[in-house]
Amino acid sequence: RKAAVKQAGNNIIEVGEMNPTDAKEVLKKSLLRTHLLNEDEAVIKLLELLSYLPLAIIQAAAFINENRSSISSYLALYKGGEEEIIEVLSEDFEDQGRYRDMKNPIATTWLISFDQILRQDQLAAEYLSFMSCLVPENIPKSLLPLTQSLNKTLKAIGTLTAYSFSTERELDQSFDIHRLVHLATRNWLRREEKLVLWSNKALIRLADVYPSGDYKQRATWTAYLPHARHVLALPHLSDGNKEAEIKLLFKVGCCLDSNGQYVEAEQMHRQTLELRRKVLGPEHPDTLMSMNELASALSG
């Protein structure tokens, strides 16, 4: 609403909740076995519980499709959700003025599906945890942690797609995660005291794979750049990973310098220099290298 008012003034078209007919149509298009819609009472009850939210309906349908369950059996899982966990997963959800009770349906459908993924595909759960520490849009497949089995990697990606936790951009070889899925995952990690762990895994992975300032690799580091910026700005990085933080700051600074973004490159090199002075000392060769890169950015 704030964005709409800022951009369009009084020329705003309000989009309210879907009505039951539209919501049922979304469910129909999302189900592989449309005969399940014959459970009239269960369908009505499910859509009411999901507040007619498209994302919640699609996630519920994804679970039903993947596990070949009935709508009635899914409803039983929904009612059995742990209220305390749901409340935690709902923290920080925005747009309360747009939909009625929007928090619980999204958080509950997420929890039901994520519990199933934890039991069925641990790697998929790890990928989702990792991606929740990055920007939720345009996550390159090449950023995902390496595994020894290509088959397991493909299966994990397929699992996240099947449960509507991520969508794949086939042409770009990248993924998107819905904002609320991203948020629910981060809140779950925070509840399980694993957010710092996965934030640092994202930092280490980016530090390892982020290219140097070589212009031939410009397409790669341009795709990685939003995620590097995001991870470096996270407030809960461990002090034990200063080496990875320095490494990533230095690489990002060099790439920005190579791209002519001298102001931001200067900021990155200043941070790198400060950290290297503290960790390595003022006379260390790497510290002197950072001084040189900073001077280069300032002269640009």
pTM strictly above 0.85: no
Rounded-to-integer distance, Cα 43 and Cα 297, Å: 61
pLDDT at 130: 97
Q: Tens-digit pLDDT profile for the chain (300 aa)? A: 677 777 887 788 876 678 999 999 999 999 999 999 999 999 999 999 888 989 999 999 999 999 999 999 999 887 766 777 788 787 777 655 555 556 678 888 999 999 999 999 999 999 999 999 999 999 999 999 988 888 999 999 999 999 999 998 877 789 999 888 999 999 999 999 999 999 999 999 999 999 876 778 888 989 999 999 999 888 766 666 788 888 888 888 888 887 777 778 777 777 777 766 776 666 666 665 666 655 555 565
pLDDT at 300: 53
pLDDT at 94: 62
- Assess contact for 232 and 248: CB atoms under 8 A: yes
pLDDT at 291: 61
Q: Which two tokens stand for residue 281?
A: 């000392």
Q: What would the pLDDT profile of 62-107 be if each residue is shown by its tens digit?
A: 999 999 999 999 998 877 667 777 887 877 776 555 555 566 788 8
pLDDT at 98: 55
pLDDT at 293: 59
pLDDT at 45: 93
pLDDT at 283: 62
Strands (E), the chain: 139-140, 167-169, 174-176
Rounded-to-integer distance, Cα 70 and Cα 50, Å: 16
pLDDT at 294: 56
Rounded-to-integer distance, Cα 18 and Cα 107, Å: 19
Of 160, 224, 231, 227, nearest in space to 198 by CA: 231
In the chain the first and final C-alpha atoms are separated, in Å, by: 41
Under DSSP, is residue 140 helix (H, G, I), strand (E, B) or coil? Answer: strand
